[in-house]
Structure 1
């Protein structure tokens, strides 16, 4: 399968969608608090996008019914928003994809609800730094394995595991494009990164084992051992000047 390389004009379109996603996460960071429900968050995100001329690309994708994925504590990804209030000490990952004029941009962020423990804070910091380490490897001439190795090394050095059941992906006119981006890897292996590729890097890091299962709704993924998990994701363009994060917050 061939990688679809993007022109500078294409990347500008993805960046415009990415700015909406970034602004929405920034707004959410001030709204997420104990007592707020993930269903309220979901409605806020959908309204935020629509008011800016974008649509939530996840809603309706393969029958998915919501504008966001909202994954609390041991839910690693694809959690359904619900009416259960978030409690102090919880963590929640909000994953969203904006479609603006046909171009899509994708970002997930894990938020701590009020004050959390030192061990959970370490999990969040490690997962975010693993994303940053992966992004640094997204340069022309490197291999996909370089990204995965950087992510995996950061997580495992801190005593955590990387969930391998879910991957990043190319993105553009379609939410999921080739190639798949593994978050574990061997340096120098995998396809070569090229200028014009636009990908998501989105490691899920867990405090326990990497094994997960899908619940009866067919979407929600949870850790088998009940350990909590954190995920941070950006949409990244690979350019000759280096990686450009298209969903970076102001």
Structure 2
């Protein structure tokens, strides 16, 4: 069952989403060579807690951290460690905030130092794919239109679109109906209408779409071990208009691309 939100509930989600954006910004200030993944995770955890909220991912189904930190060939759900960032790395940070009874969810992939041009293009196209999905998320379209928009843009550049992991509805629960795949056919799936809130999150691989899972039960990698990128926004339909609740502005203000 899809749970449509009232305008009052979406306002609460806006507040959660803004805090999430600011948490990403705090982490972005510290993404540089020599900084450990555990250090970045602590920054996010402490900032969210200091602002009266709870990290959505912490202890969710047993996940042990605030951030999903996915490095290089890791697609999603990487676990923070003592690994220190080095030039040439790319790292996806996926974070959620639970505030005022509602979750928000977003992800961003960062290049560290000097990154190969082919990987930088992957990051650019994946973020463009997210924007294409957002543009297709409008009243009277269907979820399949969002999925198709993401898939078409990524595959046009020859990239692999992950199929086993998908976007989702969210609100009082971190994962709600509907599922939002990054592949699909136009005109299929749930009709988009007022009160729908979904997380659109392209997970795009430089090589093939094939994946593997590590023994930890969480970490998902590309099977060919080529890099992957992941960007995500929480998006709402309010009074017939599409609104992106999460923001990358706090990242873009501080991160030196």
* TM-score (structure 2 length as normaliser): 0.95
Contact map agreement 2:26 2:44 (CA 8 A) in 1: no
> Shift of the alpha carbon at 1:23?
0.9
Which aligned pairs between 1:15-54 and structure 2 lie closer than 5 A? Answer: 15-54=14-53
Which aligned pairs between 1:175-214 and structure 2 lie closer than 5 A? Answer: 175-214=174-213
> Shift of the alpha carbon at 1:241?
4.1
Distance 1:106 1:120 in 2: 24
Confirm or deny that 1:82 pairs with 2:84. Answer: no
Contact map agreement 1:102 1:173 (CA 8 A) in 2: yes
- Which secondary structure state, in structure 1, belongs to the residue aligned with residue 29 of structure 2? helix
Gaps of 5+ in 2: 250-257
Which aligned pairs between 1:80-229 and structure 2 lie closer than 5 A? Answer: 80-229=79-228
Distance 1:143 1:119 in 2: 33
CA shift digits 1:58-102 (9 cap, x unpaired): 111111111110000000000000001011010000111100121
Contact map agreement 2:92 2:107 (CA 8 A) in 1: yes
> Shift of the alpha carbon at 1:145?
0.7
Distance 1:126 1:26 in 2: 22
Distance 1:242 1:232 in 2: 22
- In structure 2, the residue matched to 1:237 is 236
Distance 1:157 1:183 in 2: 14
- In structure 2, the residue matched to 1:67 is 66
* Alignment RMSD: 0.9
- Which secondary structure state, in structure 2, belongs to the residue aligned with residue 40 of structure 1? helix
Distance 1:28 1:44 in 2: 6
> Shift of the alpha carbon at 1:159?
1.3
> Shift of the alpha carbon at 1:117?
1.4
> Shift of the alpha carbon at 1:29?
2.1
Equivalent pairs counted in the alignment come to 249
> Shift of the alpha carbon at 1:18?
0.4
* TM-score (structure 1 length as normaliser): 0.97
Distance 1:97 1:38 in 2: 17
- In structure 1, the residue matched to 2:2 is 3
Aligned structure 1 segments of 4 or more residues deviating by more than 6 angstroms: none
- In structure 2, the residue matched to 1:14 is 13
Higher mean C-alpha displacement, 235-244 vs 110-119: 235-244
Distance 2:242 2:80 in 1: 32
Distance 1:28 1:158 in 2: 30
- Which secondary structure state, in structure 1, belongs to the residue aligned with residue 224 of structure 2? coil
> Shift of the alpha carbon at 1:114?
1.3
